[in-house]
Amino acid sequence: MKFRNFPMVSRVVYGRGSFDQLGEIIAPKRQGNAPFIFFVDDVFEKRESLTKHIPLEGKDKIIFVNTTDEPKTKQVDALRDELRKEFGIVSGIIGIGGGSILDLAKAVALMMANEGSSVQYQGWDLVKVAGVYHAGIPTISGTGAEVSRTAVLTGPEKKLGLNSDYTTFDQVILDPALVKGVPKNQHFFTGMDCYIHCIESLNGTYLNAFSKSYGEKSEEMCEHVYLNKSVWDDESDEELMMASWQGGMSIAYSQVGVAHAISYGMAFVLGTHHGVGNSIVFNYLEEYYPAGVEKFHEMIRKWDIDLPKNVCANCTNEQFNTMINVSLGMAPLWENALGKNWRDIMTPEKLRKLYERM
Ligand code: NAD
Ligand code: ZN
């Protein structure tokens, strides 16, 4: 048995208002007059309360990024090419936003130092050269992208991450004040990504004490904010931010499961975003995660969430087949969820029936 030797985020700051320390944190990483590039979700373009705290110096540049679509390989390649053309080298890439921006920042930082297209690096341990310095600052909680060793990208053939020891952030700033203003449904769906990470990790065959220690705490915090509390307050933002981190740590040493495998297929064909896609799928997984799904239904009712329904209603045969192939291609997720004989349990026919319900 060979045990995996995981990289961790090298440095992390936690605290309300800690975003203000960004300038002093990155100053020692500045290389001559090579700029820092800030990828910022364009939802903040007009929100000066955030942008005025971005510590610009010299040739530093803010690039506002629209996240209507989740990050794509060609977007990463284009940004890398533009930055190389404009600046040659950069001191680092700082991502400020949700999972989409965090993954984009990680991927561009890697591609600044690696040749070719990011498509070539979608997979496990294909990146052999360290990228430039990269820091992540989440503004919505749940994905665990702030702590993971992957940057999920949609490419021409697959939605798959750049999973490597160089992907993990060098620095993360966890400032719960930044999540103020996230629309209710969106915040719920991204939060459910975290809850689903816990349920899938804790009920998987890959579970071990390392993953369990993080997964249980994260699940407890999710249930506290979504089931036990009746108002969403500062404490909720603080707890969910840490639940996201712990949930990410939990799956690092185990794996996600059925909801993620099915929602990846859906995302590839229909472009459904990660959090909402997982929620749409998880809603129907009572056979696999009975206790988790029951609590999920309770959370949906309690927070009065509009969960999209019938998203696959107009899918063609070809689309169903692509979804099924993409989903069944995620072997480790299925093996974690259902064991080594998962192919006998989750047949293409059974999966098609599940998609048809969604
Ligand atoms: P997101 O980054 O796509 O953002 C969702 C929406 O929330 C966007 O419209 C954004 O503008 C808005 N938003 C973000 N912060 C806000 C704020 N403070 N105020 C108002 N609006 C705000 O959503 P996400 O769910 O965080 O991330 C999904 C992405 O993360 C997907 O691309 C998925 O593949 C990826 N992901 C990565 C990992 C990983 O380990 N790398 C894990 C899970 C998911
Ligand atoms: Zn997820």
Task: Return the pLDDT at 215.
Answer: 98
Mean pLDDT on 227-249: 97
Distance CA 210, CA 29 (A): 32
What pLDDT, on the 0 to 100 scale, is given for residue 19?
97
What is the reported pLDDT for 226?
98
pLDDT of residue 1: 78
Please tell me the predicted confidence (pLDDT) of residue 2.
84
CA–centroid distance, residue 97 to ligand 1 (Å)? 7
Q: What is the dihedral of CA 345, 351, 352, 356, to 10 degrees?
A: 130
Residues with a beta carbon under 5 angstroms from ion ligand 2: 193
Tokens 């509009």, residue located: 306
Average pLDDT in the 262-268 region?
Answer: 95
Q: Is the CB of 100 under 6 A from ligand 1?
A: yes
Mean predicted confidence (pLDDT) in 164-193: 96
Is the CB of residue 43 below 6 angstroms from any atom belonging to ligand 1? yes
52 CB contacts (<8 Å, ≥6 apart)?
none
State both tokens at 204.
């998987």
Using CA atoms, how far apart are residues 227 and 222, in angstroms rounded to an integer?
8
Q: Distance between CA atoms of 320 and 37, rounded to whole angstroms? A: 40
**What does the pLDDT read at residue 297?**
98
Could you tell me the two tokens for 149? 């060793």
The residue among 271, 323, 309, 312 whose CA lies nearest residue 68 is 271
| Ligand 1 pocket check for 187: Cβ under 6 Å | no
288 pLDDT band (50/70/90 cuts)?
very high
185 lines ligand 1 (CB under 6 A): no
CA distance 272 to 260: 12
Q: With the CA atoms of 198, 203, 209 and 215 taken in that order, what torsion angle do they form, in degrees rounded to the nearest 10?
A: 10
- Atom of ligand 1 at shortest distance to CA of 275? 25
Instruction: Report d(CA 73, CA 154) in Å as an integer.
Output: 6
pLDDT of residue 199: 98
Q: Domain boundaries in the chain? A: 11-179, 184-357
Which CATH number does the domain 11-179 belong to among 3.40.50.300, 1.10.10.10, 3.40.50.1970, 3.40.980.10?
3.40.50.1970
SS (H, E, C) the chain: CCCCCCCCCCEEEECCCHHHHHHHHHHHHCCCCCCEEEEEEHHHCCCHHHHCCCCCCCCCEEEEECCCCCCEHHHHHHHHHHHHHHHCCCCEEEEEECHHHHHHHHHHHHHCCCCCCHHHHCEECCCCCCCCCEEEEECCCCCCCCCCCCCEEECCCCEEEEECCCCCCCEEEECHHHHCCCCHHHHHHHHHHHHHHHHHHHCCCCCCHHHHHHHHHHHHHHHHHHHHCCCCCHHHHHHHHHHHHHHHHHHHCCCCCHHHHHHHHHHHHHCCCHHHHHHHHHCCCCCCCHHHHHHHHHHHHHCCCCCCCCCCCCCCHHHHHHHHHHHHCCHHHHHHHHCCCHHHHCCHHHHHHHHHHC
The CATH number assigned to the domain with range 184-357 reads 1.20.1090.10
With 90 as the cut, is the pLDDT of residue 4 above it? no
Q: What is the pLDDT of residues 98-113, one digit of tens each?
A: 999 999 999 999 999 9
CA of 235 to the centre of ligand 2 (A): 23
Pocket test for ligand 1, best of 100, 180, 254 (most atoms within 8 A of CB): 100
The model's confidence at residue 328, banded by pLDDT at 50, 70 and 90, is: very high
- Give the mean model confidence (pLDDT) for residues 332-355: 97
Chain segment 15-56, per-residue pLDDT in tens: 999 999 999 999 999 999 999 999 999 999 999 989 999 999
CA-nearest residue, atom 40 of ligand 1:
145
pLDDT at residue 157, as a whole number: 84
- Mean pLDDT for all residues in the chain: 96
| pLDDT of amino acid 159 | 85
pTM over 0.75: yes
Confidence of residue 158 (pLDDT cuts 50, 70, 90): confident
How far is 192 from 87, CA to CA, in rounded Å? Answer: 39
Per-residue pLDDT at 313: 94
Mean pLDDT of the 187-206 span? 98
